[in-house]
């Protein structure tokens, strides 16, 4: 079913938790009676004679269906169309909140938060036309929301590239009552913690099915209801939340760098489920008992913005090549949640090797504790890359580092991160190893020289190379 409405591209006039939908108009319901040109009369007389008379004059040689079978098939198709259209919605079945944001790069985003008040799970599609104050069309855009369950609220976004000065947006909505996925947003609970420049949210899956492709959106408004900035992120490194599990995300208000502080936040989740319990995602996991983890904390200031690089040195004592993922929650000295991040590990970790992962947490100069949860997953098809040796040569502004492959396999996508320490073993800087070529595949017996810059005095450094060798079955 389709509905049309127009949203004025200004701050809220009609609210249900912020900005509202203005001049919501409903077209007449589409039925076989008032749309005869689209849906034919399905009486037996019409189906068997005039409507498909062309079949009697068509060469069906080689066709798998007879003319009569085609008539019956087309009859079923039109019946499905009529049944879909008769599943109509009333005015109160959906609520909309719309917000316009000019991104400062010559384009605009138009957010539409949708609440499903009906008893049906639906897939939503929409087309929109952005107009100026004279009603001239400036651009068109589309959005699709794969699933909205009864009682759920989620969000979509129209992206108008190279369009600014929008005064109104006309939208046409289509609803499909036979979506491909199961609703899941209603199973997710959110514990929000708002800070001066960000919001951290602990998202828990209280249902019994896996939440997939989960994304979080935060819209930051000033005290005059202007949308200052928005941020969004996938929830977890794999964008899934298993039943009974939780993940913390941090969304930032970067308008603060322009000296614009926010007054309130609208927070939304999107996601879907295939209805499974999520066990397929854990079948290849390796026990954490097979790994040693060393925490290394580096805090610094980026032109007034506090940064916490929380490193984990991970030693693989198992017999498997693994990928490591994780999620961290940061707390201040009073126990308040002040940040979160997902673990970044450059590559897979071979048996016996060490790898360096990092949680990059911003926005608070009072981080006294970081709690994290790690997952180690087997990577079939990858074989161990062993035998990489490192030689460090001091340079005036950092280190020159030579990497030699003494193993039997090519080290593909070679990279390295470097941590610099003072004589008391406190970290004073971090960096990456820069090669002449961005893409380095180091064959057995070969070596490559790179440079790691450091602008401060240091006593020693630790180098963590990463690479892989992929040989699928």
In a domain, 39, yes or no: no
pLDDT band at 423 (very low <50, low <70, confident <90, very high): very high
Q: Looking at the structure, do residues 22 and 145 belong to the same domain, yes or no? A: yes
Cα three-residue angle 41-44-47, rounded to 5 degrees: 60
In a domain, 119, yes or no: yes
pLDDT band at 385 (very low <50, low <70, confident <90, very high): confident
Q: Looking at the structure, do residues 7 and 132 belong to the same domain, yes or no? A: yes
In a domain, 181, yes or no: no
* More confident: 123 or 303: 123
3-class SS letters over 433-459: CECCCCCCCECCCCEEEEEEECCCCCC
Q: What is the dihedral of CA 441, 443, 449, 455, to 10 degrees?
A: 40
Chain segment 45-67, per-residue pLDDT in tens = 333 344 555 556 566 666 666 66
Query: Which stretch of 27-36, 149-158, 345-354 has the lowest confidence by average pLDDT?
Result: 27-36
Residue 85 has pLDDT above 80, yes or no: no
pLDDT at 22: 31
Q: Are 21 and 2 in contact (CB under 8 A)?
A: no
Q: Looking at the structure, do residues 371 and 385 belong to the same domain, yes or no? A: no
**Mean pLDDT along residues 79-93:** 55
pLDDT band at 249 (very low <50, low <70, confident <90, very high): very high
Q: Looking at the structure, do residues 112 and 140 belong to the same domain, yes or no? A: yes
Q: Looking at the structure, do residues 308 and 258 belong to the same domain, yes or no? A: no
CATH number, domain with residue 147: 2.60.40
In a domain, 306, yes or no: yes
Q: Which of 339, 365, 380 is the last residue of a domain?
A: 380
Residue 81 burial class via C-beta count within 10 angstroms: exposed 0-12, middle 13-18, buried 19 and up = middle
Residue 260 has pLDDT above 80, yes or no: yes
Q: Which of 380, 405, 429 is the last residue of a domain?
A: 380
CATH number, domain with residue 196: 2.60.40.10
Residue 39 has pLDDT above 50, yes or no: no
pLDDT band at 346 (very low <50, low <70, confident <90, very high): confident
Q: Are 209 and 184 in contact (CB under 8 A)?
A: yes
Q: Which of 362, 380, 398 is the last residue of a domain?
A: 380
pLDDT band at 26 (very low <50, low <70, confident <90, very high): very low
Helix (H, G, I), strand (E, B) or coil at 189: strand
pLDDT at 468: 86
Q: Looking at the structure, do residues 457 and 427 belong to the same domain, yes or no? A: yes
In a domain, 36, yes or no: no
In whole angstroms, give the CA distance from residue 200 to residue 252.
9
pLDDT band at 259 (very low <50, low <70, confident <90, very high): confident
Q: What is the dihedral of CA 97, 100, 103, 109, to 10 degrees?
A: 60
Q: Looking at the structure, do residues 25 and 158 belong to the same domain, yes or no? A: yes
In whole angstroms, give the CA distance from residue 87 to residue 29.
10
CATH number, domain with residue 452: 2.60.40.3230
Residue 38 has pLDDT above 70, yes or no: no
In a domain, 35, yes or no: no
Helix (H, G, I), strand (E, B) or coil at 237: coil
Predicted TM-score (pTM) of the model is: 0.80
Q: Looking at the structure, do residues 357 and 394 belong to the same domain, yes or no? A: no
Query: Which stretch of 8-12, 318-322, 349-353, 415-419 has the lowest confidence by average pLDDT?
Result: 8-12
Question: Which range marks the domain in which residue 207 is found?
Answer: 187-222+230-276
pLDDT at 178: 87
Q: Looking at the structure, do residues 7 and 57 belong to the same domain, yes or no? A: no
Residue 35 has pLDDT above 70, yes or no: no
Into how many domains does the chain fold?
5
Residue 1 has pLDDT above 90, yes or no: no
In whole angstroms, give the CA distance from residue 311 to residue 205.
27
- Long-range contact set of residues 279-287: C-beta below 8 Å, sequence gap at least 24: 281/210, 281/238, 281/240, 281/242, 282/242, 284/377, 284/378, 284/380, 285/375, 285/376, 285/377, 285/378, 286/318, 286/320, 286/322, 286/376, 286/377, 286/378, 287/376
In a domain, 34, yes or no: no
pLDDT at 90: 67
In a domain, 182, yes or no: no
Residue 282 has pLDDT above 50, yes or no: yes
**Mean pLDDT along residues 17-38:** 37
Percent of the chain scoring above 70 in pLDDT: 79
pLDDT at 344: 85
**Mean pLDDT along residues 250-261:** 84
Q: Looking at the structure, do residues 114 and 10 belong to the same domain, yes or no? A: yes
Chain segment 395-413, per-residue pLDDT in tens = 888 999 999 999 999 999 8
Residue 125 has pLDDT above 90, yes or no: yes
Integer Rg of the chain from CA: 29
Q: Looking at the structure, do residues 375 and 385 belong to the same domain, yes or no? A: no
Q: Looking at the structure, do residues 196 and 340 belong to the same domain, yes or no? A: no
């Amino acid at each position: 079913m389709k509905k049309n409405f127009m949203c004025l591209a200004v701050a809220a006039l009609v609210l249900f938790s912020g900005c509202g939908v203005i001049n919501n108009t409903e077209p007449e319901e589409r039925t076989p009676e008032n749309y005869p040109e689209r849906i034919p009369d399905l009486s037996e007389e019409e189906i068997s004679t005039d409507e498909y008379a062309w079949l009697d004059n068509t060469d069906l040689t080689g066709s798998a269906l007879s003319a009569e079978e085609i008539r019956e098939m087309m009859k079923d198709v039109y019946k499905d169309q009529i049944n879909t259209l008769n599943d109509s919605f009333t005015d109160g079945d959906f609520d909309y909140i719309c917000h316009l944001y000019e991104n400062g790069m010559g384009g605009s985003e138009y957010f539409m938060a949708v609440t499903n008040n009906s008893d049906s799970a639906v897939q939503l599609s929409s087309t929109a036309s952005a107009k100026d104050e004279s009603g001239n069309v400036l651009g068109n855009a589309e959005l699709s929301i794969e699933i909205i369950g009864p009682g759920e609220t989620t969000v979509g976004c129209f992206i108008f590239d190279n369009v600014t000065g929008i005064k109104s947006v006309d939208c046409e909505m289509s609803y499909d009552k036979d979506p491909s996925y199961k609703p899941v947003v209603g199973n997710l609970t959110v514990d929000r913690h708002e800070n001066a420049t960000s919001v951290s949210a602990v998202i828990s899956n209280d249902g019994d099915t896996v939440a997939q492709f989960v994304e979080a959106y935060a819209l930051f408004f000033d005290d005059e209801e202007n949308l200052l900035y928005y941020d969004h992120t996938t929830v977890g490194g794999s964008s899934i939340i298993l039943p009974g599990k939780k993940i913390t995300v941090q969304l930032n208000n970067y308008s603060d760098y322009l000296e614009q502080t926010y007054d309130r936040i609208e927070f939304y989740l999107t996601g879907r489920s295939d209805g499974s319990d999520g066990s397929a995602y854990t079948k290849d996991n390796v026990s954490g008992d097979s790994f040693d983890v060393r925490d290394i904390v580096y805090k610094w200031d980026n032109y007034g913005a506090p940064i916490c690089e929380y490193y984990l040195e991970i030693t693989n004592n198992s017999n498997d090549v693994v990928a490591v993922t994780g999620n961290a929650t940061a707390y201040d000295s009073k126990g308040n949640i002040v940040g979160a991040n997902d673990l970044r590990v450059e590559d897979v970790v071979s048996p016996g090797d060490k790898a360096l992962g990092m949680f990059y947490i911003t926005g608070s100069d009072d981080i006294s504790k970081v709690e994290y949860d790690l997952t180690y997953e087997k990577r079939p098809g990858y074989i161990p890359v062993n035998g990489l040796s490192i030689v460090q040569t001091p340079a005036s502004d950092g280190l020159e580092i030579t990497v030699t492959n003494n193993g039997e396999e090519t080290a593909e996508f070679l990279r390295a991160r470097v941590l610099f320490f003072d004589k008391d073993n406190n970290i004073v800087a971090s960096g990456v190893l820069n090669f002449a070529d961005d893409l380095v595949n180091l064959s057995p017996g070969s070596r490559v020289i790179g440079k790691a810059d450091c602008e401060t005095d240091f006593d020693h450094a630790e180098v963590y190379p990463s690479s892989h060798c992929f040989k699928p079955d």
